[in-house]
Amino acid sequence: MDALLLPLIVACPLLAAGLLFMSAGRMPPLPTCVIGAGSVGLSALMAAMLATGFLRTPPPAGALHATLWSWMQVEGFNTRIAFTLDPLSLVMMLVVTGVGFLIQLYAYGYMHDDPGIARFFGCMTLFVAAMLVLVFSSDLLSLYIGWEGVGICSYLLIGFWHTDTANVAAARKAFIVTRIGDAALLCGLLLLATRAGTLDIPALLHIAATRPADLSAETAAFLLLGGAVAKSAQVPLQTWLPDAMAGPTPVSALIHAATMVTAGVYLIARLHPLFASVPAAMTAVTIIGLVTLLLAAGSALVQTDIKRILAYSTMSQIGYMFLALGAGAWQAAIFHLVTHAFFKALLFMAAGAIILRVHHRQDIYQMGGLARAMPGVFVAFLAGAAALAGLPLLTAGFYSKEMILQGAWHAAPLLWAGALLGAFATAIYIFRCLFIVFFGTRHTEPHGRTGATMAMPLACLAVLALTGGWMEMPDAIAPVHLLSHLLSPLFGAPMPEGPTWLLWAGSLVPLAGVGVAWLLWRPRIQTRAPPEDALARLARAGWDFDTLYDVLIIHPFVTLGRLNQTDICDRLSNATAATARAGGRMLGRMQSGQVRRYAGWIAAGTVVALCLGARP
């Protein structure tokens, strides 16, 4: 029975997506929401049942398998469509279905009057189904199907309001940048398939742990890392994520919290024996994570668009997860993935509620004084901000970030210092946003109220953002290690805890960041953003990676293409086409439809044939 639930959890949103697409927009909003959100809710219910049974009576082999069919069998290679539920996929399943259902429910209140709501929910449910395929797959080829599925769904959802050319450009940018990583990932999979003769994950991990040279592990690890970096928006392929804010806010919540950007973290964690066998790849993961978390935090400090602040925040928090993965703190990375899903979905959904009620304005300096006008949204945003900043004891983000800091300390004190600096900047930028939006002088009068379908998910996520970290605590606070105990069969024992002063430092630094934010942006009359110096403008532009890529890649290729428009190959093809057109015109003149001309051609041909035959 449990093995049957695995494909059913995927099938529910997949069938719902097909039904919504086939409705061609003729279905009213309420049935559309019932089908879309209901299918993900049903998957979440089955996931909870499956998780309960798994935890109560673990399978004998530590994992539950469901083989659907054999995909291809050729000499030296075979692959199959099969799902596996182990502790890692169990955690991801609960996050994707649980948070995904809350986002779907919220989306009805946000999108109920949009004429394309059926297409929207169809893409959203397909997004969840693709992510579940990625999570459950026990074969890298079927994982790649889910990987590409979330990519195409993100393209469709980012450009959902396609009448605006800026939205289309943002969707195209996300699609192209992530395709770079997808190409690297595909090359890595082909290399592994060639070397091992299979893409079955357990078989590959066994070879990686015992004979990594047989897999060309170093090359494969870096190719797979390229895919993870692009999908999770890490330096240097992070430029697509801020522009992805062009999509509706529920899309932003789904991409940033439960699905796409966590796929790269999941891939590295799933294949951790392969990466652990390549120290250079682990170092690269660590450096990428540290650089991304600091650069993104610096950009978030100077943004004025509320959704772009949260977008850069996501890049920074995923950077923390990469840092933990590279340091070998596997449990810490997954723990932060879980808590981040709670508070980042909460923050995006609270931001969406604000945007709806202030006439779709997104500039934080056009808001102000909203705490009294929308107290429920304020409490929700405060809970999410506190969790993101990692305020001690009270929030889930504190416990997961503290676990990462402990792992970074054991890897290298310099990494710990960089991660602590990122935590300081995180507290500053998110409470800067909160103080400007909810306190001070009101610059836009809000209208309406936040409906129940939007308020209930906010309330649930606010509770999770505050209490979700209680599953894993430092021994100095309480010896609770539920998540580590669950994941230890895959990752081994977690890293030992460091000295107590590390805990004090991790607790005081976020509080110091909140204090700095209060001193700089405490409630006062502030009608516009302060003037920016050159460094602030550079940070606001995402450190000008787009300009760099324009200069180094895009403009040279465009110029080369323009200069190469009439090369020898083009001239040969143009001459061939011109010859074919001329021959067609000549033959067309012969087919005039006039019998006397046909008779004349026949007579002329007969004379020519007789003359040729009469020659000696």
CA-wise closest residue to 352 among 243, 463, 251: 251
231-264 in b/e form (b: 16+ CB < 10 A) is bbbbbebbbbbbbbbbbbbbbbbbbbbbbbbbbb
Answer yes or no: is 188 within a domain.
no
pLDDT by residue (tens digit) across 468-494? 999 999 988 999 999 999 999 999 888
pLDDT > 90? residue 522:
no
Report in angstroms the alpha-carbon separations of 469 from 7, 472, 505.
30, 6, 19
Q: Please tell me the predicted confidence (pLDDT) of residue 610.
A: 79
Answer yes or no: is 573 within a domain.
yes
CA 438, CA 354: separation in Å to the nearest integer? 10
Is residue 219 within 8 Å of 254, Cβ to Cβ? no
Three-state SS at 73: strand
List, as one string, the DSSP characters of 370-400. -TTT-HHHHHHHHHHHHHHHT-TTT-HHHHH
pLDDT > 80? residue 226:
yes
Q: How many domains does the chain have?
A: 1
Average pLDDT, whole number, for the chain? 91
Three-state SS at 80: strand
CA 70, CA 84: separation in Å to the nearest integer? 15
Confidence of residue 497 (pLDDT cuts 50, 70, 90): confident
Confidence of residue 615 (pLDDT cuts 50, 70, 90): low
Confidence of residue 36 (pLDDT cuts 50, 70, 90): very high
Q: Please tell me the predicted confidence (pLDDT) of residue 616.
A: 55
Answer yes or no: is 422 within a domain.
no
pLDDT > 60? residue 526:
no
- The residue assigned the tokens 């007969």 is 606
pLDDT by residue (tens digit) across 400-443? 999 999 999 999 999 999 999 999 999 999 999 999 999 988 88
Confidence of residue 302 (pLDDT cuts 50, 70, 90): very high
pLDDT > 70? residue 1:
no
Answer yes or no: is 494 within a domain.
no
Q: Please tell me the predicted confidence (pLDDT) of residue 274.
A: 94
Handedness of CA 394, 398, 400, 403 (dihedral sign): negative
Answer yes or no: is 66 within a domain.
no
User: Greater confidence, 41 or 60?
Assistant: 41
Answer yes or no: is 242 within a domain.
no
Answer yes or no: is 575 within a domain.
yes
Q: Please tell me the predicted confidence (pLDDT) of residue 525.
A: 55
Three-state SS at 81: strand
Q: Please tell me the predicted confidence (pLDDT) of residue 72.
A: 80
Answer yes or no: is 165 within a domain.
no
Residue type at 335? Answer: F
Task: Quote the domain boundaries for residue 599.
Answer: 566-614
